[in-house]
Amino acid sequence: MEHNTLEVRGLTVCFQTAKGAVRPVDDVSLKIPQGSIVGVVGESGCGKSMTARAVMGLVRSPGKITGGSVTLDGRELTSLPEKERRKLRGAEISMIFQEPMSSLNPVMKVGRQVAEAVRLHTGCSRAEARAKTLAIFREVEIPEPEARYDCYPHELSGGLRQRVLIAMAAVCRPKLLIADEPTTALDVTVEAQILKLLERLRDAGVSVLLISHDLGVIARVCDYVYVMYAGRIVEQAGTGVIFDRPQHPYTRGLFRSVASLREGAETLETIPGVVPNLLRLPAGCSFLMRCPSCPARCENEIPPLAETEPGHAVRCFLAGKEGAT
Amino acid sequence: MSEILLEARSLTKQFPAAGKKTVHAVSGVSLQIREGETLGLVGESGCGKSTLGRLMIRTLSPTSGEVLYRGQSITAMKDREFMPLRRELQLVFQDPYASLDPRMTVRDLIAEPLETWHICESRNAVTARVLELLRAVGLPEEFLRRYPQQFSGGQRQRIGIARAIAADPSFIVCDEPVSALDVSVQNQILNLLKELKASRRLTFLFISHDLSVVRYLSDRVCVMFLGRICEIGTTEEVYRNPRHPYTRFLLDAVPVPDPALRGKEIRLLKGDPPSPADPPSGCRFRTRCPFATQRCAAEEPELREIGAVRAACHHVEE
- A147 with A249, same domain: the answer is no
Last residue in a domain, options A111, A138, A173: A173
pLDDT (tens digit, 9 = 90+) per residue, B212-231? 899 999 999 999 999 999 99
pLDDT at residue B29 in the model: 96
* C-alpha–C-alpha distance, residues A217 and A170, integer Å: 20
- A161 with A200, same domain: the answer is no
Interface contact flag, A261 B254, Cβ < 8 Å: no
Full residue range of the structural domain in which residue A142 is found: 100-173
* DSSP letters for B90-145: EEE-S-TTTSS-TTS-HHHHHHHHHHHTT-SSSHHHHHHHHHHHHHHTT--GGGTT
Interface contact flag, B184 A189, Cβ < 8 Å: no
Other C-beta atoms within 10 Å of A21: how many?
Answer: 12
Task: Please give the tally of structural domains in chain A.
Answer: 2
Partner residue facing B183 (CB), from A43, A239, A240: A43
Q: With residue A129 as reference, give the H or E element that holds it.
A: helix A126-139
Partner residue facing B190 (CB), from A187, A268, A275: A268
Other C-beta atoms within 10 Å of B71: how many?
Answer: 9
pLDDT at residue A275 in the model: 82
* C-alpha–C-alpha distance, residues B184 and A252, integer Å: 11
In a domain, A21, yes or no: yes
Q: Roughly what angle, to the nearest 10 degrees, separates helices A158-170 and A126-139?
A: 120
User: C-alpha distances in angstroms, B208 versus A67, B41, B227?
Assistant: 42, 6, 15
The CATH number of the domain holding residue A43 is 3.40.50.300
Interface contact flag, B44 A158, Cβ < 8 Å: no
- Could you tell me if B205 and B171 are in contact, meaning their C-beta atoms sit under 8 angstroms apart? yes
pLDDT at residue B38 in the model: 97
Among candidate residues B64, B7, B211, the one with its CA nearest the CA of residue A188: B211
Other C-beta atoms within 10 Å of A96: how many?
Answer: 22
CA-based end-to-end distance of chain A: 30
In a domain, A323, yes or no: no
Partner residue facing A261 (CB), from B213, B253, B261: B213
- A231 with A309, same domain: the answer is yes
Mutate to test the interface with B, among A183, A198, A228, A261 (most CBs of B within 10 A): A261
The reply to whether B182 touches chain A by the CB within 8 Å rule is: yes
User: How far does the CA of residue B39 sit from the closest CA of chain A (Å)?
Assistant: 16
pLDDT confidence tier of residue B97, bands split at 50, 70 and 90: confident
- A291 with A303, same domain: the answer is yes
In a domain, A324, yes or no: no
Partner residue facing B256 (CB), from A158, A195, A216: A216
For residue B77, report the phi and psi dihedrals to the nearest 5 degrees: -65, 150
pTM metric for this prediction: 0.87
In a domain, A263, yes or no: yes
- A187 with A159, same domain: the answer is no
Other C-beta atoms within 10 Å of A123: how many?
Answer: 9
In a domain, A325, yes or no: no
Provide the pairing of β-strand B228-234 with B220-225.
antiparallel
pLDDT at residue B263 in the model: 66
The reply to whether A245 touches chain B by the CB within 8 Å rule is: no
Which residues are A65's β-sheet partners? A13
| DSSP tag of A320 | T
| DSSP tag of A101 | H
- A30 with A157, same domain: the answer is no
Give the number of A-B residue pairs with CB atoms closer than 8 Å. Answer: 114
User: How far does the CA of residue B44 sit from the closest CA of chain A (Å)?
Assistant: 6
CA A228 to chain centre: 11
Q: With residue A192 as reference, give the H or E element that holds it.
A: helix A188-203
Last residue in a domain, options A154, A173, A192: A173
Is pLDDT at B159 greater than 60 in this prediction? yes
* C-alpha–C-alpha distance, residues B50 and B173, integer Å: 9
Residue A97 burial (CB < 10 Å; 0-12/13-18/19+)?
buried
Partner residue facing A262 (CB), from B44, B212, B262: B212
Which residue type, as a one-letter code, is found at position B263? G
pLDDT (tens digit, 9 = 90+) per residue, B263-290? 666 777 877 778 888 899 999 999 999 9
* Maximum distance among all Cα pairs of chain B, rounded to whole angstroms: 68
In a domain, A110, yes or no: yes
In a domain, A164, yes or no: yes
- A21 with A74, same domain: the answer is yes
Interface contact flag, A188 B211, Cβ < 8 Å: yes
Q: Can you count the helices (H) and strands (E) in chain B?
A: 10, 12
- A221 with A263, same domain: the answer is yes
Other C-beta atoms within 10 Å of A263: how many?
Answer: 11
ipTM above 0.85, yes or no: no
* C-alpha–C-alpha distance, residues B167 and B119, integer Å: 7
* C-alpha–C-alpha distance, residues B121 and B140, integer Å: 24
Which residue type, as a one-letter code, is found at position B131? L
pLDDT at residue A325 in the model: 39
pLDDT at residue A200 in the model: 92
- A87 with A105, same domain: the answer is no
Interface contact flag, A258 B215, Cβ < 8 Å: no
- A128 with A180, same domain: the answer is no
Task: Delineate the domains of chain B, giving CATH numbers in brackets.
Answer: 4-88+169-317 (3.40.50.300), 103-165 (no CATH)
- A153 with A179, same domain: the answer is no
Flag residues of chain A having pLDDT under 50.
323-325
- A80 with A198, same domain: the answer is yes
Which residue type, as a one-letter code, is found at position B271? G
Last residue in a domain, options A133, A155, A173: A173
Interface contact flag, A188 B152, Cβ < 8 Å: no
* C-alpha–C-alpha distance, residues A268 and A260, integer Å: 6
In a domain, A42, yes or no: yes
Considering only CB atoms, which chain A residues are within 8 Å of B155?
274
pLDDT at residue A324 in the model: 43
